[in-house]
Amino acid sequence: MNKTKVAIIGPGNIGTDLMIKIMRLSDTLEMSVMVGIDPNSDGLARAERMGIATCHQGIDGLIAMDEWSDITIVFDATSAKAHHYNWNKIKAFPSKRIIDLTPAAIGPYVVPPVNLKDHLNASNMNMVTCGGQATIPIVAAVNQITNVHYGEIVASIASKSAGPGTRANIDEFTETTAQAIEQVGGATRGKAIIVLNPAEPPLVMRDTVFTLSEQADREAIRASIHKMVAEVQQYVPGYELHQEVQFDDIPEDQPVFIEGLGQCHGLKTTVLLKVKGAGHYLPEYAGNLDIMTSAARRTAEALVKDVTL
């Protein structure tokens, strides 16, 4: 079987982990080129040792390589700012597809178990953020049962798993995730918070999801959440509920104030998650990076197979 050739821009933690996932796990994707801008990059050196062609002149260098003509999908694991430059170069080649792992959000937000089938024809697909990939499926699961007025997520990640790119994009992380909670998760209003946890030894990614919705059958909501968790586990085995789903009533005579919505009442649902990485390249505590690379691989394989998930 002929595999589809791909390139990765950004040889940092995310790019390197994605490279290894593709090489070890994918039966439809083939690594062609790892691209960076630092000739002394550890990621480029690792790619070379694994027999992968490399380029240290960014997207311009990649386009000049002989391998470029055979590459169908480009993963961008750089930064939001760099992605704008990369996309302006790649969009001149209509046959190329780009999967964006930065918070640039030029293309539509894609969370595989929620809306991948709606964007299989998009030329630029955005993977939101690690917090978004972990929590938006839960917001969407509640929204499948009842209207979600407000969705709030708190993503706690090990400080050691947050590299320069993540730290440089904190503002974009919160803005992009909040927008995707609304546009993909279905909440009328969304909010996102990220916490860099300095604990030693490092803790795995923890995510807390709060939704305020109309009253509905709690068992139906619980079942919808469990089903969604199982769908995410198909490509992120370390994704799981940390505790059982919790419900609280917000009575009409004791409403809570939500910015942009005013006084609100209804059913509060709390979901506690943890995400342990697969340990392919990154430590197990780096579940935040693992869920991003796993979602990107899942998306690319769907593009290749042209299947509806």
> Which residue numbers are catalytic?
130
Q: Which pair of tokens denotes residue 83?
A: 């992605």
- Among 307, 301, 214, CA closest to 27: 301
Q: How far apart are CA 129 and CA 289, in angstroms?
A: 9
Amino acid letter, 269: T
